Structure 1
Amino acid sequence: MSAAGKWGDLPMRILSAIVMVAVGIAGVWAGGLWFTLLVACIGGGMIWELSRMLGPDRERMAVPMGLLTTAALWGATLIPGEAVLPVLIAPAIVGATQLHKDRLIYGAYAAALMLACYGLIGLRVEHGMMWVGWLVAVVIASDVAGYFVGRIVGGPKFWPKVSPKKTWSGTVGGWVAAGIVGAAFGGLPLVLLSVATAFAGQMGDAAESAIKRHTGVKDSSNLIPGHGGLLDRFDAMMGAALFVMIVGSAVGLP
């Protein structure tokens, strides 16, 4: 591949990334209702994309499902804890029932997205801005290191049947970068958690790649220039957020 082929999309990716980082920082800093609405809107956008990918013959369901998801994520923050799970799972079930096929894929992935978004909101509310900053830094560092190391070093593919562009060099580079972030934020326990979180993010990326290959689409949408859709950009974040939520609920965060 020529140098232009390797790096041709880099300027647009950087510009879009700057805008996303600025919006993300503003949302995390504001916290409260603003951060909740930001995550809820992103979640709604991701479910809109998922509905379009898995139900191309049911395109009219995509916008209502996106709106329902946004409302459910916002509403889940206002109700008692025992009622949260049914509210979060409801959009996944409703969407799955609208499809003629791939209902299990839709339901499972949509439910995971809902829980991940809710976990991200909970991380900001319960643990504060620094923990969200750590999570975002881990995912971004892993993604950026994986992108550059993978393209510069190359080598064997990590999971060619699911994500043919990902290499082992890029994957390991992402782990190293995540570990460095963990060291900057805390001690050894956070370094280990950062590496594990980066891996969870990479699995989130792989899960979305598998759905795209299954449906034969290149990008989940074209909402973000240079990055594709919201799922293309936030798939790793969702995998990482879901993992951190599970760890936090099971054993607590360091």
Structure 2
Amino acid sequence: MTGLPPHPAKWGDLSIRIASSVAMTLIGAVGIILGGIWFQMLVVFVSAVMVWELWMMIRPAEPTKGMLLAALVASVMSGQLGYDSHWGLLLFLVAPLIGATQLRTEIKTFFVFALGIQLAGWGLVHFRADYGFTWLLWLMSVVIVTDVFGYFAGKAFGGPKFWPRYSPKKTWSGTAAGWIGAALVGGIFMLFTNVGLVIVPISMALSFAGQMGDIAESALKRRMGVKDSSTLIPGHGGLFDRFDALLGGALFMLLVADVFDIPGVAF
């Protein structure tokens, strides 16, 4: 029978997801608005926790080593985020290399993800410092709207899976809705800032990069045989689960900002 409301179980986690999302959004918004050392500390904390979650997915029987690696990440990032030298980024190899030497399997997996987490965190801090509040607000708005549009469209419409091998829940309807949401965000920022129309396709490309970050983390979890990276956030799993798309988006914009000369990258 058509016209009936969706089964409650289909939306059973919605209230707790919303509550957790609101709390994280408020904390993130305060950090972004304040900028400076406050945003740096927030990024350092989140990055260190994500490296710990990465370790625990691979080697859950050795939590102490995971905590030591997280402390190492926090120490290195704290010392480097205040500098603008790309040579300092070589220090971000320390934790991935040390962690990799402690593993017998998934050595490359840990190295790549741990390095990517630190580079993305470094990028977010420098985006805030070099491009300003509005630019970072745009980046995070694209990522958040992509996730929200994708979640509701996927739940409401379902349909063929986007990449079932690595992300069995992600649908084409949700993926496309994320692109549409990102284009809308780009259009809004085009109206209220001095960027041109190029911000719309860049927003859509950023949306796709974020979705690839989400899929990369989903593939990692399937490979490790875990449902979530941790249980730190009710309704969302771990910080890695929540910020995987932001990692993908930040790494993509690092590439765009450093390699390509595209008008509209900075407001």
Common fold: TM-score over 0.5: yes
Deviations, residues 199-237 of structure 1 (Å, cap 9, x unaligned): 000000001001100010000000000100000000000
Is residue 130 from structure 1 mapped to residue 107 from structure 2 by the alignment?
A: no
2-side partners of 1:204 and 1:103: how far apart? 19
Paired residue for 1:168?
A: 172
Report SS of the residue matched to 2:169: strand
Asked if the contact 1:89/1:114 (under 8 Å) is kept, the reply is no
Q: Which segment is superposed worse, 168-177 or 109-118?
A: 109-118
Uncovered stretches (5+) of structure 2, i.e. residues with no partner: 1-5, 191-195
Residue in structure 1 matched with residue 3 of structure 2 by the alignment: none
Structure 2 residue aligned with 1:247: 256
Verify the 8 A CA contact 1:96 1:103 in the aligned structure 2: yes
1:78 aligns with 2:82: yes
Q: What residue is the counterpart of 2:234 in the other structure?
A: 225
Matches within 5 A, 1:9-48: 9-48=13-52
Q: What is the CA-CA distance between 1:80 and the residue it aligns to?
A: 5.9
**2:83, 2:234 → 1: CA distance?**
37
Aligned partner of 1:68 among 66, 72, 82:
72
Higher helix share: 1
Given candidates 62, 87, 91, the residue that maps to 1:87 is 91
**3-state SS in 1 of match to 2:118:** helix
Structure 2 matches for 1:61-210, cutoff 5 A?
61-79=65-83, 81-186=85-190, 187-210=196-219
The gaps in structure 1 that reach 5 residues or longer are none
211, 214, 231: which one aligns with 2:223: 214
Deviations 1:39-71 (A, max 9, x none): 010000100100100122332211111111112
CA distance in structure 2 between the partners assigned to 1:79 and 1:242 by the alignment = 18
Out of 68-77 and 194-203, give the one that drifted further: 68-77
Counterpart residue type for residue 223 of structure 1: L
Aligned equivalents of 1:6, 1:117: Cα separation in 2: 34
Aligned-pair distance for 1:82? Answer: 4.2
Q: Which amino acid aligns with 2:210?
A: G
Work out the CA distance in 1 between the residues paired with 2:41 and 2:112: 23
Give the count of matched residue pairs.
253
* SS of alignment partner, residue 188 of structure 1: coil
Could you tell me whether the CA contact under 8 Å between 1:35 and 1:121 is conserved in 2?
yes
Q: Which one-letter code corresponds to 1:91 in the other structure?
A: A
Q: Which has the larger radius of gyration?
A: 2
Equivalent pair of 1:58/1:99 in contact (CA under 8 Å): no
Q: CA deviation at 1:83?
A: 3.1
Moved over 4 A (4+): none
CA–CA separation in structure 2 for the residues paired with 1:92 and 1:175: 33
Letter in 1 for 2:101: T
